[in-house]
Structure 1
Amino acid sequence: MSTTPLKIAIQKSGRLFEESLKILKDCGISIDNGHDQLKVRARNFPLEVMYLRNGDIPKYLRDGVADIGIIGENLLIEKGEELEIVERLGFSKCRVSLAIPKEQELNGLGDLEGKRIATSYPNTVNRFLEQEGINAELHMISGSVEIAPNIGLADAIVDIVSSGSTLFKNNLKEVSTILESEAVLATSPQIGSAQRELLAKLLFRLRSVLKARDSRYVLLNAPNEKVDAIIKILPGMRSPTVLPLAEEGWSSLHTVIEKDKFWQIIDELKAQGAEGILVCPIEKMVL
C-alpha cells in the first residue's frame, strides 16, 4: 500500500529555486529533475515536488493543492499572511525597502505624504503607510520597479533589496527598511493528519541540516591546568569532550559552537593557552 506523498511547492525558477533543491538534497531526499517537469516524486522519501510560479505558491497552499511550500517571507506577508510558517530556512535573505532618487533627501517618513510610490507589494506598502499615518498614491508595477522614478511615474519605490546593486545602477538609494525576509517553510491550512506526520519527519531532517549549517566542530589542544578556564569560555553544547594527548600534561578539547561566535572567542582561547585550533564544518547535527 503506497503512502500518499507530502506535496511541496517550490519556485520553478529564480533566486529560491537552487537553494530549495539543495536543502532537500542535504536532507537526504533524492529528486530526479527532468527537463521541463512541473511535478516530480522523490525516490527515497514520500515527497512530491511541484514547481510553481513564485507568486502562485500562497494560493496553492491556501487551496490545499500543496501541503507545504518554500517561499520568501516577503511574498507570504504580501499574499498569504494567514499561512503558518513552520520553519525559517536561513537562505535568500533580503529586505523590502523604500528607495528614492540619489539626488533627493528624505528628512522623515512624513515627507512621503502625497507622494507617488511604485511597488510590486501593494498590501505590504499599504499596511506600512497606514501604520505611519501617511497618505500616498500607489502605483502597482510587476517587474522592473526601479525604473519608475526615472520615467517620472513615481517619486519613490518599495521593492526587495539584497545587495543594493540594482538600486545603485538605477540611481536610487535605500532610505528605510519596511521588513526583513528570508526563505521559509509554510503549511497549508488544509494539510491532512498523514501529511502532518510526514512533515514532522521532514522538519526533523531540516532542523538537523540547519543546526549543522550554523555550527562548527572545534578541536584544540591545551595544557591541563588551563582546561577548566577554556571550558568556561566555550559557548558550546553541554560539555566539551576532553581527551589526554600523548604528550604528558596536555589535553585535546572537542566541542561544537555557533559559527558566528568563533571569532569573538578566539583571542580568549589563545590567551588561555589553546593551541592547534582546528575548525571544521558539520554535515548533519542531530540533537
Structure 2
Amino acid sequence: MTTETRLRIAMQKSGRLSDDTQALLKRCGLKLNVSDRRLLAHVTNMPIDIMRVRSSDIPGLVMDGVCDLGIVGDNTLEETALERERMGNKSSYIRTTGLNFGDCRLSIAMPEGFNYQGVKSLDGLRFATTYPQLLNRFARDKGINVEFCLLNGSVEVAPRVGLADGICDLVSTGATLEANGLVEVEEIFHSKASLIQTASPLSAPKQKILDTLLPRIQGVMKAKESKYIMLHAPKDKISEVSALMPGKETPTILPLAGRDDLVAVHVVATETFFWETMEELNALGCNSILVMPIEKMMS
C-alpha cells in the first residue's frame, strides 16, 4: 500500500505526552507496533503510520504536509506557529479536536522576595525561556518591554546564576519552581494536547480513515469525562430524582422484577457526580447507587 493511502500521524517519541497519546490510540482500537529504536511505527489493523519525533517537530511536520495529523501540546503548537509566521514560513493547520490530557500552563516566575506589583513590575526585565514568541506576544499585549535568553533545558537555574531576572516556563504542579526558589507570578498561556490536521486536502482513502478514527477519538474523550449512574428509586420520587441527575441526558427508567414501588434509573453523566448528590438521592429513598467509569462512547 502506498503512502497516499496510509494516514500518517506524528506523535511525541518520549516525554509527558507520549504515554497518553499511545494510550489514546490503543483505546481507539489501534494495534501499534512500536519499538524504542524505530521512529516510524505501523498500525497493524488499520492503514496508519505513526511517526515518533520530538514534540517541537510535530507542528512543522503537519504544517508542511509531511504528516496528515499530529498530537501536540498547544504551547508547542502556538510557539511554532508564531515563529513560522515571523519567518514567513507556512504556518496553517486545522485544530481538529482538543484532547483531555497534557494539561499545563506557561507562566512567568520570579525569585522569592521579588516585589511583584502587577505586570508593570516585569517591564525591562530579562527572562530565560523556551517560548520566546509566546513571551513576546504577552509583553506586546500588556504594553511592556522584555528581553529573553533562549534555553531548552534547566530554565529554572537561570536567575540563580545571573543569566536572567526571571523565567517563563511550563508549570504543572509548581514543585520544580519551589525547589529552585521561584514563585509563579503570571500565567500567560494555558495548554492541553490537541489533534491537528494538515490544511492540505486529504486523499479520498486518507479521508475515509480519518472519518473512522475521529469519532473514536471523540468517543474516548467523552467517555473519560463521563460516568454511568445506576440506582433504584421510588416510583413517586422520579421527578425529584431526575432533577438531581447531573448533565443533560434524560434518565432511562426500567421496571424492577417483583417491585411495584421501585424502578431502576440509568443515566450517563457528563458532569461531576458529587458525594453530596448521592446523599440527597439516598435521602429521597434511593438505594443501590452505583457510579461507574465508561470505556467507550458513540453518539
Between Structure 1 and Structure 2, how many residues are aligned? 287
SS at 2:15 equivalent? coil
Report the equivalent of 1:266. 278
Listed as ranges, the matches of 1:53-72 within 5 Å are: 53-72=54-73
2: distance between equivalents of 1:46 and 1:187?
17
1:275 aligns with 2:276: no
1:24 aligns with 2:38: no
2: distance between equivalents of 1:139 and 1:36?
33
Residues 185/266 of structure 1: CA separation in 2 closer, same or farther (3 Å cut): same
SS at 1:248 equivalent? strand
Question: What's the CA shift for 1:190?
Answer: 2.4
Q: Percent identity among equivalent residues? A: 41
Question: What's the CA shift for 1:247?
Answer: 3.1
Question: What's the CA shift for 1:252?
Answer: 1.2
Report the equivalent of 1:252. 264
Aligned AA for 2:76? L
1:76 aligns with 2:77: yes
SS at 1:249 equivalent? strand
Question: What's the CA shift for 1:35?
Answer: 3.7
* Deviation readout 1:200-222 (Å, 9 max, x if unpaired): 22111001111111110001111
Aligned AA for 1:278? L
Listed as ranges, the matches of 1:73-222 within 5 Å are: 73-80=74-81, 82-194=92-204, 195-222=206-233
CA contact (8 A) 2:249 2:267 kept: no
Residues 137/237 of structure 1: CA separation in 2 closer, same or farther (3 Å cut): closer
TM-score of the aligned structures, taking structure 2 as reference length = 0.91
Unmatched runs of 5 consecutive residues or more in structure 2: 83-91
1:7 aligns with 2:19: no
CA contact (8 A) 1:8 1:48 kept: yes
Unmatched runs of 5 consecutive residues or more in structure 1: none
Question: What's the CA shift for 1:124?
Answer: 0.3
SS at 1:51 equivalent? strand
Report the equivalent of 1:225. 236
1: distance between equivalents of 2:297 and 2:152?
41
Question: What's the CA shift for 1:105?
Answer: 2.1
TM-score of the aligned structures, taking structure 1 as reference length = 0.95
Question: What's the CA shift for 1:236?
Answer: 4.2
CA contact (8 A) 1:76 1:83 kept: no
* Deviation readout 1:122-145 (Å, 9 max, x if unpaired): 000000000001011111111111
SS at 1:149 equivalent? coil
**Cα-Cα RMSD:** 1.6
SS at 1:64 equivalent? coil
Question: What's the CA shift for 1:114?
Answer: 1.1
Aligned AA for 1:138? F
SS at 2:240 equivalent? helix
* Deviation readout 1:11-66 (Å, 9 max, x if unpaired): 00111111000000000000011241110210111211000111111111111111
Question: What's the CA shift for 1:251?
Answer: 1.1
